Amino acid sequence: MKINSISHICCIGAGYVGGPTMSVIADRCPDIEVTVIDINKDRIDAWNEKDLRKIPVYEPGLDEVLKRARGRNLFFSTAIEASIAKADIVFISVNTPIKSKGVGAGQASDIRWVEASARQVAKYAKGKTIVVEKSTLPVRTAAAIKSILETPNKNISEDESCQRFSVLSNPEFLAEGTAIKDLEEPDRVLIGGDDSSAIEALKSIYLRWVPKEQILCTNLWSSELSKLISNAFLAQRISSINAVSALCEVTGADVREVSKAIGADHRIGKKFLEAGPGFGGSCFKKDILNLVYLCNHFGLPEVASYWEQVIELNAWQQQRIYRTILHKLFGTVNGKKLAILGFAFKADTNDTRESPSLRIALDLLEEGALLSIHDPKVSEDKIFEDLNRNEAAWEGKWSYVKTISEAVIEADAVLILTDWKEYAELDWFDLAKKMRAPAWVFDTRSIVEPSQIKSAGLNFWRVGDGVN
Ligand code: NAD
Ligand code: UGA
C-alpha cells in the first residue's frame, strides 16, 4: 500500500498507554495532528483538564510533554467517527484483559474491545489507512483484524475498498512510572508486518527521535509474540528472585547480597532482581496467562506449565508475606491497627491494578485487622473502589490517611508495600513514639535502613533477610 505522507494520527484508547504514547509522538512530530479518542467521556474530560494534576494518569514528566503539545497538535476527543476518518494511521491501544467467562475464562485475552475498534475503523476510515496494534494481543490477532477490515463495505466501491488497509504490530514496552523516559529513549521499537510501504511510514514517525538501529522489523507473529515473551521473561526474573528471598530467610543469607553477586555477571545483569511482595500491574499476570493459554491451545502443555509456575510463585510470595505478618504479630491481627504504606503496584504511578498491596490488604481485613492506608498518588475513592470490588463489607475497617504520622498512631505495625521514595526517608524515632509497643516494621521493598528502625526500638522484618 502506498502512503505518501502522514499528517493525521488517531489513537483508539486514552489509557495508560494511549495517553502517554501519543503525547510523546505529538511532542516529537509537531507537524502531525494526533487525536486520542475514547468511549469513556470522563476519561477524555480528565485528559483535557486545565489543572495538570487532574489528568487521569500520573507519570513523571508527562505534564511537561502535555504543556508543549496539548492543544497544539495533540487532542483528546470523543469524536470517534471524525477522528478515524481523517487519520492516515490508527493505533489501537485499548484494554485487553483476561476473559472472565466462557471458553478460556481466567486465561485467554478478551479481545472484544480490539474487535470493536477494528469495526469502528472499517466503518469510518477514509482512503488508505494503516492500522497499528499497540495493545498487547494474542499471537495471530492481526489476522482477525485484517479479516474484519477486509470485509466488503457496502458504502465503498470494490475498487476503492481494495487494499484500503494495512495492519502492523507495534507493541509497547513502556513501564509505568518511567513511561516518558521509556518512550523518549526506548531500548527498541518493534514493528511487525509484511507491507514494506506501511512499515516505512510508521518507521518514519519513530525515526524522528529513535536511532534506526533500534527500530526492529519482524514478521507480524514474531512481533506479537515478542511482546508476550518480553513480559514473561521480566516476570520470571522477579519470581526467581522472590523464590530465592524465601530461601535466604531460612538459610541466613541476604537476598540483596545474592542479587548483587549474581547480577554482577553481565550475562545475568543487575536489573529486575529486586525481591519484593510479588509483581503487580495490569500486564504481567494477564500476559503470562495468555501465553499459557496459547501454549495449551497449540498442544504444548509442558511449555504452558513452565510459564504457569511464574504466576503461582508470585501468588505464593504475596501469601507468604501476609502469613509472616500474622505470625510475627502473635498469630492474630484481629482488632489490631496496621498502617499500610503504599497502595499503587509500584512507585511513581497511581495505578493499582493487581497491586500486591490490595491482595495483602484484603487478606489482613479477612483476619480482622484495622487498616490505615497511605499512598501519595492513589485517591481514597480508588482505594474504596478496589477494596469493595472484592468484598462489600469493609466499612469502618479501613481508613484513608493523608499523612504517615496519622497512619501510625497506635498502630501495631507498619507495612511498606510500595517503593515510594518518601517511605525511604522517614523519621523512625518520631514514628515509633506514636505506635503501640511492641511494634513492628515490615519492609517488603528493602527501602529502609534496618539500623534506624532497630535503634528506634522497633521490631523489624524485611523480605529475604535471613540475617535479622
Ligand atoms: P487502559 O484500560 O488504561 O486504557 C484502555 C482505554 O481504551 C480505556 O480508556 C477504554 O475506555 C478505551 N476503549 C476500549 N474500547 C474502546 C473503543 N472501542 N473505542 C474507544 N476507546 C475504547 O489500558 P492500558 O493500560 O492503556 O493498556 C492498553 C493496552 O496496552 C493493553 O493491551 C495492555 O496490555 C497494553 N500495555 C499496557 C502497558 C501499561 O503499562 N499499562 C504497557 C504496555 C502495553
Ligand atoms: C511492565 C514491563 O516492565 C514493561 O516493559 C511492559 O511494557 C509493561 O509491563 C506492560 O506490558 O504492561 P510495569 O508493569 O508498568 O511494566 O512495571 P514494572 O517496572 O515492570 O514492574 C512490574 C511489577 O514488578 C511491579 O509490581 C514492581 O514493583 C515489580 N518488580 C519489578 C519487582 O518486584 N522487582 C523488580 O526487580 C522489578
DSSP per residue, 53-118: GGSS---TTHHHHHHHHBTTTEEEES-HHHHHHT-SEEEE-----B--SSTTTTTSB--HHHHHHH
Instruction: Look at residues 218, 245, 276 and tell me which one is the last residue of a structural domain.
Output: 218
Cell digits of residue 410: 497506635
Cell digits of residue 100: 472472565
Residues 382 and 453 in one domain: yes
Q: Tell me if 57 sits within 8 A of 100, measured CB to CB.
A: no
Ligand index nearest the alpha carbon of residue 112: 1
- 299: in domain: yes
Question: Out of 99-103, 261-265, 371-375, 433-437, which region has the weakest mean confidence (pLDDT)?
Answer: 99-103
User: pLDDT tens across 301-313, in order?
Assistant: 999 999 999 999 9
Q: Tell me if 376 sits within 8 A of 400, measured CB to CB.
A: no
Cell digits of residue 370: 484495622
Residues 212 and 280 in one domain: no
Cα 4 to ligand 1 centre (Å): 29
Q: Which residues line ligand 2 (CB under 6 A)?
A: 136, 172-176, 231, 234, 238, 272-274, 276, 279-281, 283-284, 345-346
Ligand index nearest the alpha carbon of residue 174: 2
Candidate from 287, 290, 346 with most ligand 2 atoms within 8 A of CB, to mutate: 346
Handedness of CA 168, 174, 180, 185 (dihedral sign): negative
- Please state the separation of Cα 78 from the chain's center in Å: 24
- 1: in domain: no
What DSSP string runs through 361-407?
HHHHHHTT-EEEEE-SSS-HHHHHHHHHHH-TT-TTTEEE-SSHHHH
Residues 182 and 321 in one domain: no
Residues 197 and 282 in one domain: no
Residues 187 and 316 in one domain: no
Residues 430 and 359 in one domain: yes
Q: Tell me the CB-side half-sphere exposure of residue 75, using CA atoms within 13 A.
A: 16
User: pLDDT tens across 331-377, in order?
Assistant: 999 999 999 999 999 999 999 999 999 999 999 999 999 999 999 99
Dist CA 287 CA 96 (whole Å):
9
Cell digits of residue 78: 470523543
pLDDT given for residue 95 in this prediction: 96
User: pLDDT tens across 423-464, in order?
Assistant: 999 999 999 999 999 999 999 999 999 999 999 999 999 999
With b for 16 or more beta-carbon neighbours within 10 A and e for fewer, the 98-127 pattern comes to bbeeeebeebbbbbebbbebbebbbebbee
- 230: in domain: no
Residues 407 and 273 in one domain: yes
Q: pTM of this prediction?
A: 0.96
Cα 299 to ligand 1 centre (Å): 30
Mean pLDDT over the full length of the chain: 95
Q: Which residues line ligand 1 (CB under 6 A)?
A: 12-18, 37-40, 43, 93-96, 113, 116-117, 120, 135-136, 172, 174, 176, 282-283
Residues 261 and 201 in one domain: no
Residue 227 has pLDDT above 70, yes or no: yes
Residues 107 and 25 in one domain: yes
Nearest CA to ligand 2 atom 20: 175
- 228: in domain: no
Using pLDDT thresholds of 50, 70 and 90, give the confidence band for residue 269: very high
Cell digits of residue 253: 543469607
Nearest CA to ligand 2 atom 17: 175
Catalytic choice (11, 29, 248, 283)? 283
User: Is 162 an annotated catalytic residue?
Assistant: no
Cα 14 to ligand 1 centre (Å): 7
Nearest CA to ligand 1 atom 20: 38
Residues 162 and 270 in one domain: no
Determine phi and psi for 323, rounding to 5 degrees: -70, -35
pLDDT given for residue 356 in this prediction: 98
Task: For residue 257, give the CATH number of its domain.
Answer: 3.40.50.720
Q: Tell me if 110 sits within 8 A of 96, measured CB to CB.
A: yes
- 406: in domain: yes
Structure letter (DSSP) for residue 439: P
Cell digits of residue 13: 484508547
Cα 139 to ligand 1 centre (Å): 18
- Name 176's Cβ contacts closer than 8 Å, sequence gap at least 6: 16, 59, 281, 345, 346, 348, 349, 351
Dist CA 451 CA 216 (whole Å):
48
Residues 128 and 270 in one domain: no
Using pLDDT thresholds of 50, 70 and 90, give the confidence band for residue 154: low
Candidate from 10, 11, 12, 16 with most ligand 1 atoms within 8 A of CB, to mutate: 16
Residue 63 has pLDDT above 70, yes or no: yes
Please tell me the total count of domains within the chain.
2
pLDDT given for residue 23 in this prediction: 98
Domain around 139: 8-218
pLDDT given for residue 158 in this prediction: 59
Residue 155 has pLDDT above 90, yes or no: no
Q: Is 462 helix (H, G, I), strand (E, B) or coil?
A: strand
Mean local confidence (pLDDT), 110-129: 96
Determine phi and psi for 271, rounding to 5 degrees: -80, 155
Mean local confidence (pLDDT), 208-231: 97
SS3 per residue for 33-67: EEEEECCCHHHHHHHCCCCHHHCCCCCCCHHHHHH
Strand partners, 338: 371, 413
- 247: in domain: no
- Name 11's Cβ contacts closer than 8 Å, sequence gap at least 6: 18, 21, 22, 34, 35, 36, 37, 90, 91, 93, 134
In the structure, how many helices (H) and strands (E) does the chain have?
Answer: 18, 14
Using pLDDT thresholds of 50, 70 and 90, give the confidence band for residue 388: confident
Cα 314 to ligand 1 centre (Å): 24
- Single out the residue of 136, 300, 296 nearest to residue 225, CA to CA: 136
Question: Out of 161-175, 219-233, 368-382, 386-400, which region has the weakest mean confidence (pLDDT)?
Answer: 386-400
- 246: in domain: no
- 66: in domain: yes
Residues 31 and 154 in one domain: yes
Give all strands of the β-sheet with 459-462 in edge-to-edge order.
Answer: 398-400, 370-374, 337-341, 413-416, 440-443, 459-462
